[in-house]
Amino acid sequence: MEVGKLAKYLNQLEETRSRLKITEILAQLLRETREKDVDKVSYLLLGVLAPQYKGVVFNLAERMMINVLAKAYDQQPETIVKQYKELGDIGLVAQQYAHAKRSKMLVSELYDELLLIAKYEGEGSVERKIDRLAKLISQLDPLSVHFIARIPLGKLRLGFSDKTIIEALSWMETGDKSLRSDIEEAYNIRPDIGYVASLVKKYGAKQLSTKVTPQIGTPIVPMLAQRLKSPEDMIQKMGEVSIEPKFDGLRVVIHYQRGKPTKAFSRNMNEISDMFPELQKLDQQLDAKEVILDSEAIGFDPKTKRLFDFQMTMQRRRKHNIDQTSREIPLTFQVFDLLYKDGESTLQDEYFVRRKKLEDTVNPGKPLQIDESTVTSDPEVIRLKHLEYLKKGLEGVIVKKNNSQYVSGRTGWRWVKMKEIEDARGKLVDTVDCVIMGYTSGKGKRTSFGIGQFLVGVRKNDKFLTVSKVGTGLTDTQFRELAKRLRKLTTKQKPKEYEVHKDLEPDYWVFPEVVVELAADEITVSPKHTAGLALRFPRLIGFRDDKSPREATTLAEFNHLAKLALS
């Protein structure tokens, strides 16, 4: 496929707001794409060159991309800067100057060149990236460069995600979404949209279950807990359960292979191995050649042994002075599940079977510990355990259905959590993870911060619907940090994923990247917030840098939370 043809599809996608129509366009594109190119096309549709966990990024700042365009089109950087300030889109700026005729370059050639440029490292790598990218850009026609120029800055943003491509792959085969669950199940085990698209193209969606298995070094989309308010509801929906403590820590999935460096992944599938040097010394604790473990990392005070909260534990994610930080904030990894061992997937095993394999595999010590577990069918036991863990400074209980499989995401009543205390976190039974969509200029004291309130929303498929404006719960330092982060994400145009009432439009729009945890007193009906409901008296608990926008609270979860508050 030629780049020019791909660009025409990208143009259709950018101009389309209907999710169904976007899916149909994607299905047609994928249908026309050859098997050997479908992985590359799938990546480029999302403006990336590889799955997130591989960490392939350009690391080019806007000023560098301005130099690329200046070099490509023989312009002064100041001229490009002026145009960029006026248009607010590097793709539109490039389109103004592009003079090449229809691009006959192949998509495979474009992808290979972009990947080569992105992987430049070492002394002089920035200059080499600029030179080679300028040469590439100069060969593209106006429509093609409009989209390709955005990719090095991570700003292609056509208003859909990998989930939409998954649905489009089903449409490609059957003309409907009937195969979506088969494809999504494979993607959850191997979250690489290019790899999965290639398999669908080659074998068909129905064959994925025989082709996709867990692999050491490739993250698995983690399983998440639903919310239920009462132990009686839990037993009614789940039957016999295992009760385990809920820690306020950082989700870490550990990939161990004897004789090789241990890898660790966050819940949003970023590799974070370098931040946990203690995970490189697990040979004595693991009775396995290779294993994938699900865990929660919790920091503790080395003097008092008191557990730290999430925000303190998150300091271990700093990229500098790791050895010093690991001494100041030592970690224990509370292991609670086993997903793979010595060539065998355990995802389809029932929970009590996985638990037995976990206990047979992990020798508790430093840094790995196994969560304690209580098996019961009695609601009163859940209630007592919940209170016991709260008194110990934990977050209550996680309750797990004993005969449930490991299913990625937050689906069904397999794992549930119960949070019902009223404290500084608010009166809701749980907090809400929202995406920041925009912000207003500050007034009074906040003028110096550059931000007054920020608009937040929950997720509905690939859309974000508003639920509140937030201006409380932040320290001066947090206001300044937030302003700094949001300025880098500001865009002149409202992102097409956003549904916002005109009366709630902020002074500045931002791309959906920052996730915040909010508490509130209650959820009320709202005629203006596009979710149909709104948070009352919202306040910031913290930034959830461990979560991506696709892990934000969904509209369905938000509605469920509102019902729990009324029950």
Q: Other CB atoms closer than 10 Å to residue 82's CB: what's the count?
A: 12
Catalytic hit among 40, 71, 229, 246:
246
Identify whether the C-beta of residue 481 lies closer than 8 Å to the C-beta of residue 514: no
Using CA atoms, how far apart are residues 372 and 370, in angstroms rounded to an integer?
A: 6
pLDDT of residue 410: 81
Q: Which residue has the tokens 């792959």?
A: 169
Q: Domain ranges in the chain?
A: 226-418, 432-566
| Averaged pLDDT, 495-506 | 95
- Same-fold call for 226-418 versus 432-566: no
What is the mean pLDDT of the segment spanning 276-294? 96
Q: Is residue 427 predicted with pLDDT exceeding 70?
A: no
Q: Considering just the CA atoms, what is the radius of gyration of the chain in Å?
A: 24
Residue for token pair 């008191």: 306
CA 307 – CA 300 distance, rounded (Å): 4
Mean pLDDT of the chain: 92
| Strand-pair category, 263-265 with 331-341 | unpaired
User: Averaged over 448-454, what is the pLDDT?
Assistant: 84
Are 378 and 244 a contacting pair, CB within 8 Å?
A: no
**Which run of H or E residues covers position 116?**
helix 107-118
The string of pLDDT tens digits covering residues 61-91 is 899 999 999 999 999 999 999 999 999 899 9
CATH topology of domain 432-566: OB fold (Dihydrolipoamide Acetyltransferase, E2P) (2.40.50)
pLDDT tens, 147-161? 999 999 999 989 999
In tens, the pLDDT along 164-202 reads 999 999 999 999 999 999 999 999 999 999 999 999 999
CATH number assigned to the domain covering 226-418: 3.30.470.30
Instruction: Report residue 257 as tokens.
Output: 């292979």
> Strands 498-499, 432-439: parallel, antiparallel or unpaired by DSSP?
unpaired
Count of residues making up the chain:
567
CB atoms within 10 A of CB 166: 26
Backbone dihedral region for residue 364 (phi beyond 0: left; psi -120 to 50: alpha; all else: beta):
beta
* pLDDT greater than 60 at residue 238: yes
Please give the sequence-ordered ranges of beta strands (E in DSSP) within 74-148, or none if there are none: none
The answer to whether the CB of 531 falls within 8 A of the CB of 465 is: yes
What are 170's two structure tokens?
């089903």
Q: Is the pLDDT of residue 94 over 90?
A: yes
In this prediction, residue 18 carries a pLDDT of 92
Q: Is 246 annotated in the active site?
A: yes
**CA distances, 554 to each of 230, 446, 514 (Å):** 22, 31, 15
User: How many other C-beta atoms lie within 10 A of the C-beta of residue 54?
Assistant: 13
* 409, β-bridge pairs: 223
CA-CA-CA-CA torsion sign (260, 266, 271, 276)? negative
**Rounded CA gap, 296 and 248, in Å?**
8
Note the pLDDT of residue 446.
65
CA distance to 48, 130, 264, 301, 486, per residue, from 148 (Å): 11, 14, 32, 49, 24
Which tokens is 558 given? 């938000």
State how far the Cα of 401 lies from the Cα of 238, in Å rounded to an integer: 5
